[in-house]
C-alpha cells in the first residue's frame, strides 16, 4: 500500500530511540510502589552481603595469604610461625571434590535416565524420586553419622582400615567420598532429569521413527544435549562437597595431615584419613583448637576462590551449552 | 544401491500395475471407492495429478486405534501406493495424526494406546515385523523441524548407521549422505558446511534436513505430520516441491490442516471426521465434487 503513495520529501532522520515514553512509577498504586521499592532494596541488600563477604575475606585473607602456605603441610606447633601451611587440606578438598563427583555423576545420570526414559513400574520410579528428595533434604551431619556407622561394619573394612584390636575405623577418603557423593547426587540428578524433561517428545520420536532403539536414542540423541545440564549439576554438587564440614570431621578424621593407611601409592592415601579446607578453617578459627585466625582467614579466602571459580564455571558451561543443546535450539525457534 | 532400484521404476513401467489396481474397487467404511478419473487433468485444475501410481505398498484393514478404550480411529481401511501422495485431512482431533502414527507403530509409545485390525507392508503384517526394522521402511517427518544436536552430516549418517557394533567409516557414508541431501534439495546449500551444527540451519532448511534423514535409508513409505505448519510460505513451497519430486520413489502420506496444501500436493485425499474415515478419493474429485455431506461442509469451511 505504502508503495503506491507518492513519495514525500525526505524528512530529516531522527536519531534512533531506544524506547518511547513510559508510564511513571509515581502514578502507581501505593502498595505497588512499596513492593517495587522493597524488590530493589532486597536485590541491592543481597549484593551488599555477597560483596561484604568477598571483600572482608579478601582483606583478611590476602593479608595473611603467603604463597608458602599453599605448598607446606600443616604441623603441630603452638608457635604459628612453625605450624606450616594448608597443603594437605587443599589436597584433601581437591580429592573430596573429585571423588565425590566421580561417584555421584554417573549414578545421578543413570538414575535420571532411568526415571525419565523408562520409569516402569511407575511406583518404583516414584520411590526413586522420593528417595532422592529425601537424600537432598538430609543434613550432611546426619549423612555423616550414618556413614560412620555404615563404614564401621566389619565387611567394609577395605574402605578404611582395621585397628589393631580388630575394630573397623570407618574413616577414610573413600568413606568420606562415598558419603560426599550423596550430597552431590540430588543436584546432578535434578539437573539431568530437568534437562531430559525439557527435550521435546518428538525429538525422541524422530529417532525412533528412523528405526533406532531406545538405547541408541538415549546415547546418540539425548546425551549430547544433556551435557550442559550434567555439567551444571555436577558443578553445583562440587560446590556442596567442597563446602561440607560435618562429613570431613566424622568420616575423614579431620586430622592435621593427610595420613595414608599404608604405602600403596593411591589406595593407601584413599584408605587413609586427612582433612580439607573446611575442617582446617574450623580448627584454626578462634572456635577450634589451633586458634590461628590468620591462617583460617587465608584458607577461607582460598576456599571462597575455589567456590567462585566453580560458580563461574557453571555459568560458562551453561552458556557454552546454550549454543548446541537441543533445549536451547527449541527455545530459539 | 536402492536409489537405483527406485529410479528404475519409471512411470512407463508402473502404468500397467496401476491399471490393475484401478480396475478393482475397494470398500472403505461401506463407501464404494471409485477408480480415479480417467483424465486426472480435468478433475484437478490446480496441478497435474500423478498418473504414475505404482504398486500397493501398504494396506490398512479395519484399523481402529483406542486411547484408554476410546476410539480415536474407527475401522479405517485404505491402501497406500508407491508413487502417490495421500493426504489425510480433517478437523483437529479427528484421528488423522493417530492414524499416521499407527503406520510406523509410533502409537505404541503411548502407553494407553491399543489397536485392532491389520496393516500390511508389502504383504507382511507390520505388527509381526520388528519395530526398528519397520521404521526404517516406514519413516517419518514431524511437525516441528527436529534435527538432532549434531552436525548436518551426522544427522543423516545417524539414520544410515546400523545398530551394529561396527561404525561405518565416514568415507563409506559420504556418498549416501550426499545423495540423501541432494534428494532433499539441501545439498547445494550446505555442501561446504556439512560439519556445522544442524541447529544453526534455518527452520526450512532444518525441515529439509529432517526429510533427508528420513529418506536416507530409502524407505518405502514416508509419513509427514503437518511438515510445513511451522514454516514460512517460502519454505513451505520448497517442501511442497520436494514432496512432488519424492513421490516417484516412495509413497507419501501427509497429514495437513491446510486444504490448499492438500490440493497442491495430494494425488488422493482422505477426509477424516471424529475418527471415521468419511471419504477417500482422488484429490480433484474430493475437492470439486465430494460425495459426502460432511466432506462438503468441511471443505466449504463449515466446521473444523
Chain A residue with the nearest C-alpha to that of B164: A216
Task: Give the CATH number of domain A89-332; options: 1.20.1540.10, 3.20.20.80, 1.10.3720.10, 1.20.140.10.
Answer: 1.10.3720.10
| HEC profile of chain A | CHHHCCCCCCCCCCCCCCCCCCCCHHHCCHHHHHHHHHHHHHHHHHHHHHHHHHHHHHHHHHHHCCHHHHHCCECCCCCHHHCECCHHHHHHHHHHHHHHHHHHHHHHHHHHHHHHHHCCCHHHHHHHHHHHHHHHHCCHHHHHHHHHHHHCCHHHHHHCCECCCCCECCCCHHHHHHHHHHHHHHHHHHHHHHHHHHCCHHHHHHHHCCCCCHHHHHHHHHHHHHHHHHHHHHHHHHHHHHHCCHHHHHHHECCCCCECCCCCHHHHHHHCEECCHHHHHHHHCCCCCCCCHHHHHHHHHHHHHHHHHHHHHHHHHHHHHHHHCHHHHHHHC
Asked if residue B96 is part of any domain, the answer here is yes
B260-271 pLDDT, tens per residue? 899 999 999 999
* Domain membership flag for residue B160: no
pLDDT band at A69 (very low <50, low <70, confident <90, very high): confident
Residue B30 has pLDDT above 70, yes or no: no
Helices in B130-254 by DSSP H: which ranges? 131-137, 152-160, 170-183, 187-190, 203-215, 233-246
Q: Say which of A202, A205, A329 has its CB closest to residue B149.
A: A329
pLDDT > 70? residue B303: no
Task: Return the residue matching grid coordinates 507518492.
Answer: A6
In a domain, B236, yes or no: yes
Q: Is residue B122 included in any domain, yes or no?
A: yes
Are the Cβ atoms of B146 and A213 closer than 8 angstroms?
A: no
Percent of chain A residues past pLDDT 70, beyond the cut: 90
CB pair distance less than 8 Å for A206 and B134: no
| Average pLDDT for A87-91 | 91
> What local confidence, expressed as pLDDT, does residue B222 receive?
94
Residue B180 lies in a domain: no
Q: What is the pLDDT of residue A319?
A: 72
Q: Say if residue B44's pLDDT is above 70.
A: no
The enclosing domain of B75 has a CATH number of 3.40.50.300
- For position B92, what pLDDT does the model report? 87
Parallel, antiparallel, or unpaired: how do β-strands B113-121 and B85-89 relate? unpaired
Q: CB–CB of B96/B255 below 8 Å?
A: yes
CA distance B267 to B40: 9
Task: Answer yes or no: is B192 within a domain.
Answer: no
Interface probe, candidates B103, B135, B147, B149, chain A, greatest A C-beta count within 10 A: B149
Higher pLDDT, B22 or B131: B131
Confidence of residue A108 (pLDDT cuts 50, 70, 90): very high
| Pairing between β-strand B26-28 and β-strand B31-33 as defined by DSSP bridges | antiparallel
Query: Using the beta-carbon criterion (under 8 Å), do B144 and A202 form an inter-chain contact?
Result: yes
Range of the domain at B98: 2-147+219-299
CB contact under 8 A, A205 and B142: yes
Q: Is the Cβ–Cβ distance between B140 and B225 less than 8 Å?
A: yes
Q: What's the pLDDT band for A4 if we cut at 50, 70, 90?
A: low
Looking at chain B from residue 230 to 269, which residues have their Cβ under 8 Å from any Cβ of chain A?
Answer: 230
pLDDT of residue B228: 92
Mean pLDDT calculated for residue range B134-156: 92
- State the pLDDT at residue B302: 58
State whether residue A203 sits within 8 Å of chain B by CB: yes
Is B57 within the bounds of a domain?
yes
pLDDT band, residue A102 (cuts 50/70/90): very high
For residues A241 and A183, is the Cβ–Cβ distance under 8 A?
yes
- Give the model confidence (pLDDT) of B75-133 as tens digits: 999 999 988 999 999 998 899 999 999 999 999 988 889 999 999 999 899 999 999 88
* Cα A117 → chain centroid: 25
d(CA B12, CA A94): 74
Q: How far is CA A96 from CA A65, A76, A126, A170, A247, in A?
A: 23, 23, 30, 16, 10
pLDDT digits (tens, 9 = 90+) for A218-239: 998 999 889 889 988 998 999 9
User: Is B262 inside a domain boundary?
Assistant: yes
pLDDT at A322: 53
Q: Which of B163, B203, B214 sits opposite A333 (nearest CB)?
A: B203
Which one, of A279, A227, A288, A282, lies nearest residue A255 by Cα? A279
Q: How far is A329 from chain B (nearest CA, A)?
A: 6
- pLDDT score for A254: 81
Contact at CB, A211 and B134, closer than 8 angstroms = yes
What 3-state DSSP class applies to B43? helix
Q: Say whether B214 and A326 touch across the interface (CB within 8 A).
A: no
The arithmetic mean of pLDDT across residues A253-267, rounded, is 80
**pLDDT tens digits, B202-235:** 999 999 999 999 999 889 999 999 999 888 898 8
Contact A210 B210 (CB under 8 A): no
- Domain locations in chain A? 89-332
- Comparing CA positions, the residue from B254, B276, B268 lying closest to residue B28 is B276
Between residues 240 and 269 of chain A, which touch chain B (CB distance below 8 Å)?
A: none
* DSSP secondary structure string for all residues of B126-146: TTTS-HHHHHHHEEEE-SS--
Residue B254 has pLDDT above 90, yes or no: yes
Average pLDDT, chain B: 81
Binary contact (B144, A200; C-beta < 8 A)? yes
Q: Which residue of A has its CA nearest to B104?
A: A209
Of A291 and A69, more confident: A69
8 Å CB contact of B149 and A225:
yes
Region of poorest pLDDT, from B11-15, B150-154, B186-190, B262-266: B11-15
Tell me: pLDDT of B51 over 60: no
Taken as a whole, chain B contains a residue count of: 304
Out of B146, B149, B158, the one facing A202 most closely (by C-beta) is B146
A211 lies within 8 A of chain B by CB: yes
**Which pLDDT band holds residue A266 (cuts at 50, 70, 90)?**
confident
Task: State how far residue B225 is from chain A, nearest Cα, in angstroms.
Answer: 11
Count: domains in chain B: 1
Contact of B225 with B97, CB cutoff 8 Å: yes
The predicted pLDDT at position A180 comes to 94
pLDDT at A64: 84
Amino acid at each position: 500500500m505504502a508503495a503506491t503513495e507518492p513519495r514525500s520529501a525526505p524528512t530529516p532522520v531522527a536519531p534512533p530511540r531506544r524506547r518511547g515514553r513510559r508510564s511513571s512509577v509515581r502514578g502507581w498504586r501505593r502498595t505497588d510502589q512499596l513492593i517495587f521499592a522493597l524488590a530493589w532494596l532486597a536485590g541491592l541488600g543481597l549484593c551488599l552481603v555477597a560483596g561484604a563477604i568477598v571483600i572482608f575475606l579478601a582483606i583478611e585473607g590476602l593479608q595473611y595469604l603467603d604463597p608458602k602456605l599453599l605448598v607446606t603441610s600443616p604441623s603441630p606447633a603452638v608457635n604459628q610461625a612453625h605450624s606450616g601451611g594448608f597443603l594437605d587440606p587443599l589436597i584433601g578438598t581437591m580429592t573430596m571434590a573429585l571423588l565425590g563427583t566421580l561417584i555421584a555423576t554417573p549414578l545421578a545420570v543413570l538414575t535420571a535416565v532411568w526415571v525419565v526414559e523408562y520409569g516402569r513400574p511407575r511406583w518404583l520410579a516414584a520411590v526413586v524420586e522420593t528417595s532422592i528428595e529425601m537424600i537432598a533434604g538430609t543434613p550432611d551431619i546426619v549423612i555423616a553419622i550414618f556413614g560412620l556407622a555404615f563404614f564401621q561394619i566389619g565387611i567394609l573394612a577395605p574402605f578404611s582400615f582395621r585397628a589393631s584390636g580388630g575394630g573397623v575405623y570407618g574413616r577414610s577418603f573413600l568413606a568420606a567420598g562415598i558419603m560426599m557423593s550423596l550430597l552431590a547426587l540430588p543436584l546432578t540428578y535434578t539437573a539431568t532429569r530437568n534437562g531430559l524433561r525439557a527435550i521435546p517428545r518428538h525429538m525422541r520420536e524422530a529417532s525412533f521413527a528412523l528405526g533406532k532403539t531406545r538405547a541408541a536414542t538415549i546415547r546418540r540423541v539425548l546425551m549430547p544435549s544433556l551435557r550442559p545440564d550434567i555439567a551444571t549439576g555436577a558443578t553445583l554438587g562440587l560446590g556442596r562437597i567442597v563446602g561440607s564440614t560435618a562429613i570431613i570431621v566424622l568420616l575423614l578424621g579431620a586430622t592435621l595431615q593427610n595420613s595414608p593407611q599404608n604405602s600403596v601409592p593411591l589406595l593407601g592415601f584413599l584408605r587413609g584419613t586427612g582433612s580439607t579446607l573446611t575442617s582446617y578453617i574450623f580448627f584454626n578459627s578462634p572456635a577450634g583448637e589451633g586458634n590461628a585466625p590468620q591462617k583460617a582467614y587465608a584458607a577461607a579466602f582460598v576456599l571462597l576462590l575455589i567456590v567462585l571459580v566453580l560458580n563461574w564455571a557453571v555459568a560458562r558451561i551453561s552458556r557454552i551449552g546454550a549454543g548446541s543443546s537441543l533445549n536451547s535450539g527449541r527455545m530459539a525457534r | 544401491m536402492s536409489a537405483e532400484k527406485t529410479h528404475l521404476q519409471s512411470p512407463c513401467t508402473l502404468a500397467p500395475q496401476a491399471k490393475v489396481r484401478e480396475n478393482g474397487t475397494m470398500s472403505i467404511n461401506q463407501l464404494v471407492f471409485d477408480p480415479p478419473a480417467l483424465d486426472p487433468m480435468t478433475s484437478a485444475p490446480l496441478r497435474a495429478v500423478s498418473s504414475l501410481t505404482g504398486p500397493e505398498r501398504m494396506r490398512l484393514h479395519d484399523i481402529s486405534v483406542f486411547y484408554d478404550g476410546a476410539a480415536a480411529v474407527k475401522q479405517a481401511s485404505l491402501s497406500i501406493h508407491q508413487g502417490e501422495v495421500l493426504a489425510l485431512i480433517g478437523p483437529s482431533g479427528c484421528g488423522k495424526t493417530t492414524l499416521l502414527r499407527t503406520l510406523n507403530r509410533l502409537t505404541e509409545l503411548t502407553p494407553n494406546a491399543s489397536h485392532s485390525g491389520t496393516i500390511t507392508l508389502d504383504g507382511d503384517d507390520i505388527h509381526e515385523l520388528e519395530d526398528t526394522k519397520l521404521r526404517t521402511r516406514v519413516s517419518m517427518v514431524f511437525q516441528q523441524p527436529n534435527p538432532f544436536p549434531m552436525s548436518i552430516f551426522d544427522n543423516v549418517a545417524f539414520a544410515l548407521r546400523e545398530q551394529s557394533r561396527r561404525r561405518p567409516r565416514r568415507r563409506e557414508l559420504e556418498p549416501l549422505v550426499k545423495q540423501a541431501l541432494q534428494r532433499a534439495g539441501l545439498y547445494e546449500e550446505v555442501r561446504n558446511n556439512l560439519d556445522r551444527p544442524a541447529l544453526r540451519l534455518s527452520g526450512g532448511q532444518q525441515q529439509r534436513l529432517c526429510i533427508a534423514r528420513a529418506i536416507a535409508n530409502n524407505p518405502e513409505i514416508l509419513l509427514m505430520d503437518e511438515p510445513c505448519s511451522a514454516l514460512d510460505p517460502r519454505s513451505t513451497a520448497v517442501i511442497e516441491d520436494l514432496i512432488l519430486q519424492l513421490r516417484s520413489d516412495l509413497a507419501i502420506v501427509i497429514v495437513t490442516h491446510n486444504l490448499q496444501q492438500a490440493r497442491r500436493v495430494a494425488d488422493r485425499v482422505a477426509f477424516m471426521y471424529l475418527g471415521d474415515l468419511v471419504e477417500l478419493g482422488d484429490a480433484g474429485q474430493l475437492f470439486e465434487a465430494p460425495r459426502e455431506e460432511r466432506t462438503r461442509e468441511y471443505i466449504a469451511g463449515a466446521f473444523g
